[in-house]
Structure 1
């Protein structure tokens, strides 16, 4: 057995103990106090395995961490290009979820708990991959591990840090989870928009023609938006939230809608962004206003990404298992890394399922294998990088 994999198998119970600690420290995306306390815990945890930690403070959102190994203070201005690991510790779960959704391991090795799959399992595996490199090979190549606290709400404050680190990196390895073990070589871009319609109130019975129904106008806009869905090119538009009007006997004076856009390519993202922001009123007496933008640019499969996947597939085979690749509709922080031209391989975290659902879980026996894959991948990228 590969010595790194053997080390991780031998320490699987310790990995699970760390996982319990991570999961049982609740970190809702909107609870800055809880996120900052977890960041302080993570700082101490990372320092315990030789990491040099910098707290990236945020005034509105949780603080983020930049952790490095194998680098000196001059690395940022030198030709050294570290391997970038990216993971988040915020979750979609509200404080107190542990009371009804506790951390538990069943007889089949299925481990459940809030945020365990998305993505505290990936964080634990990432740290243990680095620990294995330290303990087994006695060498940790230049690594930057960026742990952010706002991924689930769009990485609003961490995005500049992610992009800056990606520009300096030889490759970005994203520790998001994988439902079937497949590695993600492409992700759709995501656009988020808010549509507001202004109409005119009137008595629906006594003077119906005097009013302008914002709801009727919004219905036209919804049909226009949904008509843009084109599965042939992978573009989808979904109006997921609609509200408007005051009473049934009043012509609706206003209406609002929230829109989700998913696109495969940057060119399509630009086209659809212009189209949505340029929506015009069907009824000239109504006013339509659209705000929003592309929240995450597409993560397109490039030759460099394909090379990374090929390397991972070869390493997995050496470790005794197989991995495949997949393109998915959801976005991640890998989208930001890809957009600045960095090779990205995503889905290197936990194997399991149920992201954002009450059956969220990971498979315990996959943790050592995935951590070993990550460790050997870091090692190979560092060895093959021509800048070193």
Structure 2
């Protein structure tokens, strides 16, 4: 009897053909027309493999696709995205190519290989009733138009399986919650040479606030609060009247995320007559280990049944749409997609030999969840 891994290995040539079509259809998140063209291709490929057309969900001009398979309620959400960080024209310098078992091309690792794996895994199921496949088009922007859709589809499911890639094959059991802030500072301008004492220096106030913000992190709990982009002043000889800076904050648990939020919004000016405006807040809740460990143990058992190497786990600081599914209380397993590296970088690549075994694991996991939720 042909094993599941062997079946997926036999499907690999078609998977690579599908992947080439997706990678060579460029889809930068910021270009909604390009994302729409990519969505049409994704719909074509998915319809051919799944036997049904998706529902187009366009939110704020961004195109997302949803397949709800079967007539019953959704039980397993498979989550992918088809947008990338690569601008139109990137194929000229980063063409799609497969050499020495390594596949390259813009968006191949993050995460068009995972999308192809999702299609072929669902197509290989004995029955797909109860599976929802959601393919979003703005993940690389932070999912501003798809977040509500993701949370709606995840609510009530027994599991959400996220096809983000893995740099070393380890599944992601923890992702930090992400919060984004901007602090705007208003001082008062004056001539820096003639009357500096009449000014209220927004740059100096910004320096005080940056130091205060940088002390809000807690390395022992994995919390980072990092000032990033800083803007201040107009000319060399003018006391700056305004300044602003951005903050990237990350936390492993909701308690820490809320602590940082409260302390940031409690900041007060240091210089007399200066003022602060604090904007922003949590963008993605944490994906905590407790939301993933049972699914990881189930996947580990199935990997053993398939004769695959033992699965490994990892905790990472970067966020994904899996943060949203876990945030609504749905058990979530992330990092089930391609094995390779170089996300968003010149050396983005996928290890071809890992595609079929990982797809077989995905088939087994979805089938097991449908049979024994």
TM norm. shorter chain > 0.5: yes
SS state of the match for residue 160, structure 2? strand
Quote the RMSD (CA, aligned, Å): 1.3
Q: How does 1:106-145 map to 2 (within 5 A)?
A: 106-107=99-100, 109-133=101-125, 137=126, 139-145=127-133
Cα distance in 2 for partners of 1:22, 1:34 equals: 12
Kindly indicate whether the alpha-carbon contact (under 8 Å) linking 2:300 and 2:310 is maintained by their aligned counterparts in 1: yes
Report the Cα offset of residue 2 of structure 1: 6.2
Partner SS, residue 59 of structure 2: coil
Deviations 1:19-61 (A, max 9, x none): 111100000001111111111222222121223411111233x
For residues 96-111 of structure 1, the aligned pairs below 5 Å read: 96-107=89-100, 109-111=101-103
Matched-pair contact (CA < 8 Å) for 1:191–1:292: yes
Cα drift, residue 305 of structure 1: 2.2
Structure 2 unaligned blocks of 5 or more: none
Give the Cα–Cα distance (whole angstroms) in 2 for the partners of residues 284 and 367 of structure 1.
61
Question: Residues 1-388 of structure 1: matches in 2 within 5 Å?
Answer: 3-49=3-49, 50-60=51-61, 62-69=62-69, 71-72=70-71, 75=72, 80-107=73-100, 109-133=101-125, 137=126, 139-302=127-290, 305-319=292-306, 320-385=308-373
1:180-208 deviations in Å (ceiling 9; x for gaps):
10111111000011111111111112111
Query: Is the partner of 2:365 in helix, strand or coil?
Result: helix
Matched residue SS, 1:173: strand
Which deviates more from structure 2 when the two are superposed, residues 30-39 or residues 49-58? 49-58
Q: CA deviation at 1:141?
A: 3.8
Cα deviation digits, residues 104-147 of structure 1 (max 9, x gap): 1112x1111111111101101111111222xxx4x224210000
Q: Could you tell me whether the CA contact under 8 Å between 2:60 and 2:145 is conserved in 1?
A: no
- Moved runs in structure 1, 4+ residues, more than 6 A? none
Residues in 1 aligned to 2:68 and 2:2: alpha-carbon distance in whole angstroms: 25
Is the Cα–Cα contact under 8 Å of residues 51 and 68 in structure 1 kept in the other structure?
Answer: no
State TM-score, norm by structure 1: 0.93
Gap runs ≥5 in structure 1: none
Mark the CA change 1:129 to 1:205 in structure 2 (over 3 Å): closer, same or farther. Answer: same
CA displacement, residues 328-358 of structure 1 (integer Å, 9 cap, x when unaligned): 1011000010011100000001000011111
Q: TM-score, normalised by structure 2?
A: 0.97
C-alpha distance in structure 2 between counterparts of 1:349 and 1:117, whole Å: 8
In 2, Cα distance between the equivalents of 1:24 and 1:116? 10
How much does 1:81 deviate?
4.0
Deviation at 1:370, TM superposition (A): 0.8
